[in-house]
Structure 1
């Protein structure tokens, strides 16, 4: 299969196929007649596996580890369990951070409901944002509004 054919069969973009190839997650052979990359069924199997693993939140680095174990005929299942156990608390924390952000956004929208639009005057950019009490933005951390998350 050529890049576009593999992409179509795997439900990804051609650029994704090229990226996974550069990352060493899938391999191709060169067609001696035209020097095009040719992918086999194993590449398609891996593309589908990578897509499924990405849906579970695995990073490409995680996936590389999993594939390396499988390539050495070692069961990657214990590694997969360990990685998910490590990632799950981080995901739950990120959900809490996003819920807090959503709450701040809703609160801001509520407080802006009756406020008039302002025009920048050299001392102000947007009166809506600048008019919010700092405590309303930084409920959990003074740097949260800068990074979109708590430290």
Structure 2
């Protein structure tokens, strides 16, 4: 199948297929007459695998390592488990940081509802932000 057919079968763009092929994650052959790339069913299977791995947060470099294990006939499963077990605490930390940011943003919006708009006067840029004391606001709302 050609690039467009592979992309449609996997529900991705043709640019995605070409990008993964350039990265060496998908193998193709070239038609000597017209130069078109041709992909087989294995490429479709690998493309779907890449999509699934991306939804689990794996980077393209990690996916390349996983595929390398597969091609060398060794199981990538231990590496996959290790990568995710290392990543889970980091994602939890990011979620906590985002929840803190969301709380700070909501507090700012609540407080700013009552504040008048200010015009730049050469001394201020945006008085909403300049008069925001995040430490005071977070401790007063806890």
Structure 2 counterpart of 1:65: 65
Distance 1:67 1:7, change over 3 A: same
What SS does the corresponding residue of 2:69 show, helix, strand or coil? helix
Structure 1 counterpart of 2:101: 101
Do 2:30 and 2:37's aligned partners in 1 also have CA atoms closer than 8 Å? yes
What SS does the corresponding residue of 1:121 show, helix, strand or coil? coil
Unaligned runs of 5+ in 2: none
Structure 1 counterpart of 2:2: 2
Distance 1:45 1:66, change over 3 A: same
Instruction: Give the Cα–Cα distance (whole angstroms) in 2 for the partners of residues 48 and 136 of structure 1.
Output: 49
Structure 2 counterpart of 1:25: 25
1:53 deviates by: 0.7
Structure 1 counterpart of 2:51: 51
Question: Aligned-pair RMSD on alpha carbons?
Answer: 1.7
Q: What are the equivalent positions in structure 2 for 1:1-151 lying under 5 Å apart?
A: 1-135=1-135
Structure 1 ranges of 4+ moved more than 4 A: 136-139
Do 2:104 and 2:138's aligned partners in 1 also have CA atoms closer than 8 Å? no
Select the structure of larger CA radius of gyration.
2
| Alignment deviations for residues 56-108 of structure 1 (CA, whole Å, 9 cap, x no partner) | 11111111110000011111111111111111111111111111111111111
Instruction: Give the Cα–Cα distance (whole angstroms) in 2 for the partners of residues 136 and 69 of structure 1.
Output: 53
Scaled by the length of structure 1, what TM-score is found? 0.85
Instruction: Give the Cα–Cα distance (whole angstroms) in 2 for the partners of residues 64 and 36 of structure 1.
Output: 24
Do 1:29 and 1:37's aligned partners in 2 also have CA atoms closer than 8 Å? yes
Size of the alignment, in residue pairs?
139
Unaligned runs of 5+ in 1: 140-151
Do 1:104 and 1:136's aligned partners in 2 also have CA atoms closer than 8 Å? no
What SS does the corresponding residue of 2:104 show, helix, strand or coil? helix
Instruction: Give the Cα–Cα distance (whole angstroms) in 2 for the partners of residues 137 and 59 of structure 1.
Output: 38
